[in-house]
Structure formats: structure tokens, C-alpha cells
Structure 1
């Protein structure tokens, strides 16, 4: 069972890494924070405080003095990498009368570590109700706020950290002497598989024998259709091809009121129960767009429970009807043929 300590430990560790990256950037004179950073802390604070902060810079480019605001609670926040008193005073000086009408409390959030003490213009602070002991936060303060959360909100914060902090750490990376960053966006893309395709002679012979027809009667476009099918598969993400393999493995050939051969069928509810991934409808959507599946849920009372139809798409009936029997007859692996797009045995 995952404990509070596990959640708190991961959240604090990740926030400490972010603070460390900002500290390094500061030493190199890189003081600006991106919109991604502002939005990350907007979402984090909303998760911690159940607030409704929005990015004020969307309303007005570089809203003076403030980055985030919640019109419901009256909280407004400046997110900054600069921890000194000059930055605090500059922020307070740029808070407008409109901000004062909209917000009741103004906070400085230092992404890093704040100073031990601050000497600021007390008159300006008093005018805005700003308390330098209470209203200057850093990552350590956020950590203390996280520790005090109930388990439901703690889990929500942990989910947010798991989902978003990786992107933030990439955004805060510093380029090397050649201007290259440790993480390349180009390297984040999956490489497309290169199909392996035979001449189709083995498959042609199989079709002739199983259908008891001459090879001359087999569709002339068969080799071309094999290549097109391989190309369609190669354009699918790897995990989606593997998902298709499992659909083909678990298809039941049950009687269906919606699908007829060469369609193969599965019960949608069974797939939903057995698939342990987090994006079932996304995988089905990709395959449906590519022509490999159809999901039918209409006419439940007339045609039975929701079903998923699976097939090998294309205009060649020989290929659609006979590819799966060929794979079984030749003891080939669906994971190799479909998952790796290796049609060399055909």
C-alpha cells in the first residue's frame, strides 16, 4: 500500500530538483521563468489549496507585478526566480489599483530558496497588506504545505507532479557550449519501424491450396496489397501495433449481429476489463482511423452487447480472409508479423 510518506517524499524530491535547476540558472544570469513554469506552479498551488488561480499574463502580456490570480479567493501571486528584497519591492510597486480591487492578498513565490530576512519599504507593504514573514514563499514553504494535506489532495498533488514535472525540468535545462540541450525534442519521438516484405509467393501458394483455386485466379493486386498493409502497420505507434496483436490473439469469432467475415469480434466490455493500460479509447481510435477496427455499441437490445470488430484492411479479399490463417498454419508469431511488421515470410 502506498503511504503518505511515499507521496510526500516524491513531491518534495522533485520540487527540490526544480529549485536546484533554477538556482543554477540564476548563477548564470538566466532569471526569466517561462509560461510553462508559471502554469506548473499555478496548477500545483490549485491542487494544494483547492484554489482557482489563472495565469494573469493571458489577460495582459506580462501583467505588471503579478503572474497568477484567483478572483474567488482574492489570492494573487508573483512567481519569480529572484529572491532578493529589490525584487519584492519592485513587485509591490507595480501592483495596480485594479489588482487591489480584485485581490485581497499578494504573495511572492520564489522558485528556489528565499532569503533569511528581508528589509523592504514597510509603508508600501502595509498599504497592500503584505507581510514579509507570511507572504514570501519558497519551495520549502510549498513542501510544508504539502505535508499538511489530507490524503485526497496529497494524491492529487502527487499525480500532478508525476505528470508535469518532467516537462518542467526539460524546460529549465541549460544548453552546453555548443548550444545543445541535454534533452532533445527530436529524440522524444518514436522511430517508425521499417517494414520487411517478401515477394508474396508463399502466401499466394497458401491461398491457392486453402481455397482450391489456381494461382491465376488469385487477385493480381495481392503483392501490392501486402506492401500497402505493411505500410499501414508501420505508421501505427509500436504500442498500438502491440495492442492490435492482443486483439487478434483474443478475438473469439463469436456470432455477431453486426460483423461478418472477414471481421473478427470481441466484446467491448471484456476488452475494457482485461486491458490494463490507461488509454483504451485512444488505442481503439487510432486503429479505427487506420481501418483495423470498428467499435459498435448501438442497437444493444437488438444485436447484443457492445462489440469490437477487427480485420486486416484493404481491397484484396484474399489478404483480409487468409492472412491470420496463414500466420497460424506456418506457426508464425503475430508479435513478429504484426507487431514488428515483418512480412518476410509471406
Structure 2
């Protein structure tokens, strides 16, 4: 059983890591924070305080003085990476009359560590009843965490686990070449290069083993269809290609009531029950958009339950009709043929 101590420990560790990261940025003169960072701490504070803070900068770009506000609690917060008194004074100076009327409790939240003591200008602090106790940092948030009821603690723990990884990316420091440790480009799956034969083996199979009489137009269509098929498969995400393989491996053996002979088919309800992935609809949407599947559920009284039809290509009827038979006759592995877009044997 996960204990309060476990939740609190992980929350404090993550806040401490954020503080260290901000301190390093400050040493390099990088003191700016993104709207994402503001929203991250908005959500944390809403759990800690039971507040309904919203981002003032999303209503008006670069709202002067304050970043977050809850008019019911009359709480206004500036989120900053700077911990010096000059930043506090700058915040107080920028608070407008309208803001002062809405927010009588002003807090400066330092994303990092605040100073041990502050010498504040009384003339700036007095109108807002502001003192050193109104300056919070990550340690203050950690202390507020300890007293949370268990349901709020679990909510805060889940929030931080979900969002802190992105915040750390937002706070990364570029190297001398301006490159960041985490690259958005690296988060994309690389597309594979398909391997496609010239079609001779498949054409020979049709003529010699199936007994098909092919004219020049039909053989040209087969060769072109194979090239297009390789490209279409390579553009699918790997997981989606593997999903398509499984559809073929688990296809129904009987005749479809909804699709013609060139189509393989699977019972939709059976696929829905057997597939344990998180996004069945997403996989089918991708395949349907790419032209590999079609879903038919109309008129269940005459045609039975919905089916998923699979057709490997529309560019050649011969390739569509005999594709699976060729794979079986040549003892090929469908997981390699479709899963890795390897049509080199064709």
C-alpha cells in the first residue's frame, strides 16, 4: 500500500529538482519562465490552497505585476525564477489599481529557493500589506504538502508525476551550440525504408501456380502497386503495421457477408474484445485513412454484426486477391512482410 510518506517524498523530490534546475538557469542569466511553467504552479497551488487561480496572462498578454489570480480569495501571485528583493519591488510597482482592488493578498512565488532574509521597501509593501512572509519558494510548497488530506495529496502526486517531466524540459539549458538535451525531433518515430521487389516472383506465381493469363497492362499494374504498397506501409507507425498484421492473423475463415472476395475480414466485436491496446479507434482510423481497412456496420438485420474488411491494395486486383496466398505459398512471415514493409520476395 502506498503511504502518505511515499507521496510526500516524491512530491518534495520533484520540487527540489525543479529548484536546482532553476538555480542553474539563473546562474547563466536565464530568468524567463514560460506560460506552461506558470500554469504548472497554478495547478499545484490550486490543490495546495483549495483555490481557483487562473492565469491572468492568458486573458491579457503579459499582464503587469501578477501572473495568477483568484478573485474570490482575493489572491494574486507573481511566479518568478528570481529571488532578489529587486524582483519583489518590481512586482509591487507594477500592480495596477484594478489589480490591487481585486487582489488584496499578494504572493511572490519563487520557482527555486528564496533568500534567507529580505530588506523590503516599506512604501511599496504597505499598500499591499506585503511582507517577507508573502515570498514563497519550493520549500514553502513542500511544507504545505505535508498537511494535505490524503485525497488532495494523491491528486497533487498524480499532477506532478504527469506534468513535471515536461516542466523539466521547459527549464532545460541549451549547450554552446544552442541545442537542448531533450529534442522534440527525437520524440518522433523514424520512418522505415521499404524493401520492394520488381514483381517478377509474384507475376510468375500467378502464371505458373494460379494459372492466370496476364497482359502487359496487368503486369505493369502489379509492379506499380507493389511500389505504392511499400510506401504506404512505410508511412504507417510501427505499432499500426503490427496491428494490421494481427488483423490478418486473426481474420475470419468463413465468407464475409459484407465484403467481396478480394477482402479479408474480421468481426469487429471480436477484435474489440481481444485487442488490449489503449486506442483501438485510433489504430482503425489510421488504417482506414491509409486505405487498408474499411468498417461496415450498416443493416445488421440482413448482413449480421459489424465487420472490419482488410484489403492490401486497390491499385491491382490481382495483387489484392492473391497477396495472402502468395505469402502462404512462399512460406513468408507476414510479420516481416507487413510489419517491416519487406516486399523484397515479391
Mark yes or no: TM-score above 0.5. yes
2:225–2:315 contact (8 Å) kept in structure 1: yes
Aligned to 2:249: 249
Q: Compute the displacement of 1:344 (Å).
A: 0.8
**Distance in 1 between residues matched to 2:12 and 2:110, nearest whole Å:** 15
Residues 44-92 of structure 1: CA distance to partner in whole angstroms, max 9, x if unpaired? 4345556443322222221111112234544322110011223223212
Q: Render the CA deviation track for 1:9-65: whole Å, top value 9, x for unaligned.
A: 443333322221110011112111122322332334345556443322222221111
TM-fit CA distance, 1:313: 3.0
CA–CA separation in structure 1 for the residues paired with 2:289 and 2:130: 56
1:195 counterpart = 2:194: yes
Q: Which moved more, 1:288-297 or 1:234-243?
A: 288-297
Q: Which residue of 1 aligns with 2:169?
A: 170
Q: Which runs of 5+ in 2 are unaligned?
A: none
Q: TM-score, normalised by structure 2?
A: 0.86
Classify 1:304/1:222 alpha carbon distance in 2 versus 1 (closer, same or farther; 3 Å). same
- Are 1:315 and 2:305 matched, yes or no? no
Contact 1:70/1:76 (<8 A) preserved: yes
Measure, in 2, the Cα distance between the counterparts of 1:155 and 1:249: 43
* In 1: Cα distance, 2:8 partner to 2:185 partner: 33
Distance 1:56 1:291, change over 3 A: same
- Number of residue pairs matched by the alignment: 345
Equivalent residues of 2:240, 2:287 under 8 A apart: yes
2:14 equivalent in structure 1? 14
- Shift in alpha-carbon separation, 1:242–1:165, aligned structure 2, 3 A: farther
**CA distance in 1 between partners of 2:313 and 2:51 (Å):** 50
**Match of 1:213?**
212
Q: 1:108 to 1:310 in 2, by over 3 A?
A: farther
Q: 1:319 and 1:164, CA in 2 relative to 1: closer, same or farther beyond 3 A?
A: farther
Equivalent in the alignment of 1:103:
103
- Aligned equivalent of 2:117: 117
Q: Which moved more, 1:311-320 or 1:136-145?
A: 136-145
Partner of 2:68: 68
Aligned to 1:33: 33
